[in-house]
Amino acid sequence: MKLIIASNNAHKVTEIKAILSPFFNEIMTLKEAGINIDVEEDGTTFEENAVKKAVEILAAAPFADAAISDDSGLMVDALNGAPGVYSARFAGEGHNDEANNKKLLEMLDDVQYENRTARFVSAVALARKDKPILTAHGSVEGIILRESRGENGFGYDPLFYYEPLNKTFAELSADEKNSLSHRKNALSALYELLSKEGE
């Protein structure tokens, strides 16, 4: 069984291989599969974007049995779930992590600590030949701080405070983050779905 990951991100690839290798004997990145298409993520939910990407990648890879994609982002309660699916372009197209974080802090300026609750959310979609699409979700809860902490990670990680470890996501090691991340939780849920199918 050949699986294509709709990404070339090394961290994602490692995580997906570690969890899903029992179900696929060959797992490859887009680059390894010789696929170079950019799927427009224009869905209104993480799941819509993940499904669209997985379906289009599988259609472009007739030699593969399945394609997996994920879409993830930050949802802040005080902002009614924003930035949500717009997490990567919160400050506008072409802006970077710094601009996105700055906008987030400005919008939460007068919000008290106990009301700065947020979660990272991930949806994964597995498109398969001659089988239904499987989707799974994962999340991790945190608080948005007033200033950045930590040098690791990317995106909103320096502002996302994870209380059980008393660290922001940018202060976690790669192993720590991978063990509790929203994507890891979504992939674990997908693993359970695949296991049940095989029973």
The residues spanned by each domain of the chain are 2-198
Helix or strand (DSSP H, E) at 75: strand 66-76
Helix or strand (DSSP H, E) at 190: helix 182-198
Helix or strand (DSSP H, E) at 102: helix 97-107
Residue among 141, 137, 139, 140 nearest 190 (CA): 137
Whether 71 sits among the annotated catalytic residues: the reply is yes
pLDDT value, residue 199:
67
Contact 6, 28 (CB under 8 A): no
DSSP 8-state symbol, 79: G
In the block, residue with structure tokens 């300026």: 109
In tens digits, the chain (199 residues) has pLDDT values of 999 999 888 778 888 888 999 999 999 998 998 888 888 888 899 999 999 999 999 999 889 999 999 999 999 999 999 999 999 889 888 778 999 999 999 999 999 999 999 999 999 999 999 899 999 999 999 999 999 999 988 899 999 999 999 999 999 998 898 889 999 999 999 999 999 987 6
Looking at 21-88, list the stretches that DSSP marks H as alpha helix, in order from N- to C-terminal side.
Answer: 46-59
Q: Indicate the pTM of the whole model.
A: 0.90
From the list 65, 70, 71, 157, the catalytic residue is 71
- Give, in degrees to the nearest 5, the angle at Cα 141 between 50 and 46: 15
pLDDT value, residue 24:
93
Q: Which three-class secondary structure string do you get for 119-179?
A: EEEEEEEEEECCEEEEEEEEEEEEEECCCCCCCCCCCCHHHEEEHHHCEEHHHCCHHHHHH
Of the CATH numbers 3.40.50.1370, 3.40.50.10420, 3.40.50.300, 3.90.950.10, which one belongs to the domain with range 2-198?
3.90.950.10
